[in-house]
Amino acid sequence: MTRSSDINAGTSTNEGAAAEEIRWQDVLTPEEFAVLRQGATERPFTGEYNDETAAGMYQCRACGADLFPSNTKFASHCGWPSFYAPLAEDRVRYIRDTSMGMERVEVRCANCDSHMGHVFSGEGYGTPTDQRYCINSISLKLNTDAADS
């Protein structure tokens, strides 16, 4: 069993942010916490899902929300799992990120506000949306039981 599926994050409204951070540190590994809750980026070509082609639903590693169907994953060769669209636009939220001297759009889980990665547009990958959701493997959990039909 995964720990993440047991977490009912994002549904409680009467808990302070500080308490929530402590809870995340309890349930996530230090590596997961650094990416999901502190916005770090895993090193390219190291993530477990970089070359994954199995069918299923990529879920938020922290809260288990369905985020990216495997049929939107494509081989971008950028070093991180890449998707051309989320399951639905309301599954993710976008934040303008000007760190590292670039203007990028951060992608977070809409349910628990965990950091997923960034989205880039107009790169010419030839996908239906011409977008690349560049997502950390460690932010995701592939559920192969939830294969979309």
Least distance from Zn ion to the Cβ atom of residue 101, Å: 28
Q: Quick check: 62 binds Zn ion (CB under 5 A)?
A: yes
Whether the CB-CB separation of 106 and 13 falls below 8 Å is answered with: no
Which C-beta is closer to Zn ion: that of 105 or that of 125? 105
Interface size with Zn ion, residues (CB under 5 A): 8
Selected from 63, 87, 116, 140, the binder of Zn ion by CB under 5 A is 63
CB of residue 130 to Zn ion, shortest distance in Å: 26
How far does the chain reach from its first CA to its final CA, in angstroms? 24
Answer yes or no: 60 catalytic.
Answer: no
Residue 52 CA to residue 16 CA, distance in Å, equals 37
Give residue 50's Cα distance to chain centre: 13
* Cα(67)–Cα(117) distance, integer angstroms: 12
- Which residues contribute to the site for Zn ion (CB under 5 A)? 60, 62-63, 65, 109, 111-112, 114
